[in-house]
Structure 1
Amino acid sequence: MKKTNWFRINVLKEEQWLNGFLQQGYKITKVTSWRSGFVFEKTSQAYVVRIDCQKAMKKEAFEEYKLMYEDFGWSYLQGSRSSGKHYWQKVSEGQEADQLFSDRQSTKNYYKQLMNYSLMFALPFFVLSCILFQQGTLSPDNMYLTRGLWDMEGSLFWKAFLFETPFALLRLFCPLIVIGSAILSLSAYYEYRKLQQQV
């Protein structure tokens, strides 16, 4: 079974989406090189997947990182020294054993990395959004390119409006990515602060 991932921005939702398939009796056999597609295989065992976010690592640090989790039974599915996102899978052993991080400090670090990942992912889209706003491309008058659209009436207006709306929404892609990344970063920050305040 092949599935495409639409949660590239939101790591937590992507992880939840993947585990939904694993709970139905599947395991992941392949993650495509662009991490947008997954190949699943039926299995009799229950599996769990976790996604970790890390800064770029040197080769030695990357090998140590992988060995550390492999010692605890995790299989490395996809990622690279500079990818930011790393996919791990293992046979489910229960609530605590199915977590990548066993202590509060590691969990805090995870949420901090997730915040950074979200912000770095959003940065180029933020720059593009600023350029589009400055050019006026995202104003209602300029988003729809049909000349005289707002002066049309009746069915002619609705036909032109409905035809061009998907293209106009594509122009909002960059700002929507920025908003989505900001929401994920804030939710990660909230979890980070909650852990920091625990005694």
Structure 2
Amino acid sequence: MKKFKMFFDIEKEEQWLNELLQKGYCCTNISGLGIYTFKKTDKRYVIRLDYQDYLSKKKFEDYKGIYEDFGWNYINSSWLGGIRYWQKEDDNQNEIFSDRQSTSNYYRRLMGYSSGLGILFLLFSYMLYKDSGLYLAEGLWSMEGALFWKAFLFETPFALLRSLPALMVVFYCSSFYKAYRKYSMLKEN
């Protein structure tokens, strides 16, 4: 079975994947384009997601070996994404972070990921909007009557597409804030 889904929140993605696993599906592949591949199984699985900054081939093999030593299987995913997918049979020892420090480090990495992408989309939004607004049709605002409404309705889907980078800034700022809250709660206790 293949499913297409896009996520901007790593924890919601993990929750969705675990819901499918509880229904008797095993995840076999995840593409960078949001296509998830599953197969039916009788075993119960659990999946955990981890975000890692760029790892060299040697560091990635070491990182992978540590998880595999504890029974986790790596699911192939986009190499550039930074999100690593780990799955294993449900045995009631289903956490990938063994202590507060490693959980804290995870949220700190997530904050860096979210802020980096947020800044990237903010710069992209600035480049898109610095010389013009969302609507690019010349003379749109000087048109009147039915001609204005036809032009306005025609341009609106394009304006919504142009607003996508700004929406991404909002998503990544929200993701940063959520990770920051969890990070700071771990640091306080």
Tell me whether the two structures share a fold, i.e. TM-score over 0.5. Answer: yes
Corresponding residue SS for 1:135: coil
> Could you report, residue by residue, the CA deviation over 1:80-104 in whole angstroms, capped at 9, with x for unpaired residues?
775421111111223xx21111211
5+ long unaligned stretches in structure 2: none
Match of 2:46, SS state, is strand
Partner of 2:26: 27
Of 96, 104, 108 in structure 1, the residue corresponding to residue 104 of structure 2 is 108
1:125-176 deviations in Å (ceiling 9; x for gaps) = 12111112321333xxxx252743674436x655544443222110001111
Between the two proteins, the alignment pairs up a number of residues equal to: 189
Aligned match of 1:67 in 53, 65, 68? 65
TM-score (norm 1): 0.85
The structure-2 alpha-carbon separation of the partners of 1:161 and 1:109, relative to structure 1 and needing over 3 Å to count, comes to same
Change (3 A) 1:82 1:162: closer
Q: CA offset at residue 42 of structure 1?
A: 0.9
- Report the more deviating stretch, 42-51 or 100-109: 42-51
2:86 to 88, 109, 120: 88
- CA separation of 1:165/1:81 partners in 2, compared to 1, >3 Å: closer, same or farther? closer
Structure 2 counterpart of 1:37, from 31, 35, 38: 35
Alignment match of 1:54 (pick from 41, 52, 55):
52
- The question of 1:2 aligning with 2:5 is answered no
Alignment partner of 1:120 is 2:119: no
- C-alpha separation between the residues in 1 aligned to 2:80 and 2:154? 41
Distance 1:166 1:82 in 2: 30
Greater mean deviation of Cα atoms: 75-84 or 143-152: 143-152
| 1:176 equivalent in alignment to 2:167 | yes
- Contact 2:30-2:77 at 8 Å conserved across structures: no
Amino acid in the other structure paired with 2:188: Q
Q: CA separation in 1, counterparts of 2:95 and 2:27?
A: 17
Structure 1 CA distance, aligned partners of 2:60 and 2:114?
A: 21
Take 2:114 and 2:84, find their aligned partners in 1: how far apart are those partners? 14
Label 1:92 to 1:159 Cα distance change in 2 as closer, same or farther (>3 A). farther
- Change in 2 beyond 3 A, CA 1:80/1:29: closer
Task: Report deviation, 1:41.
Answer: 0.8
Distance 1:195 1:126 in 2: 29
Question: Is contact 2:5–2:34 with CA below 8 Å preserved after alignment?
Answer: yes
Superposed displacement of residue 116, structure 1: 0.8
Identity of aligned residues (%): 43
Once the two structures are TM-superposed, the CA of residue 60 in structure 1 deviates from its matched residue by 2.2
